[in-house]
Amino acid sequence: MDPVALIREHPEASYSYDDGADVLYLSFGPPRPALGVDIGGGAVVMVGEEDGQIVGITLIGMRRQVERELAEAEAEAGVTR
């Protein structure tokens, strides 16, 4: 799954972020019935019930994950705060 390709294919893609829950929601197209498939790592892919197409992605713990990866990259680069 290439997230960039999904967004390019769906110019009507949108997102929202719930700061309190630390969850990023990505939607591709208008809302429609979908089933969530947990693919691990805090990611849930929403699959359209009628056609099996990916209609959204939910990323749980997004801020924590980005902060952790930035800290690791800084440590590897020798950056100190």
- What pLDDT is recorded for position 6? 65
Q: List the beta strands (DSSP E) in 1-81.
A: 14-18, 23-27, 34-40, 43-48, 54-60
- DSSP state at residue 36: E
Written as one letter, the residue type at 78 is G
The per-residue pLDDT string of the chain (81 residues; one tens digit each, 9 = 90 and over) reads: 666 676 677 677 899 999 999 999 999 988 899 999 999 999 999 999 999 999 999 999 989 988 999 999 999 998 877
Please identify which residue in the block is written with the tokens 């952790």. Answer: 68
How many CB atoms are closer than 10 A to CB 64?
11
Please identify which residue in the block is written with the tokens 């713990």. Answer: 61
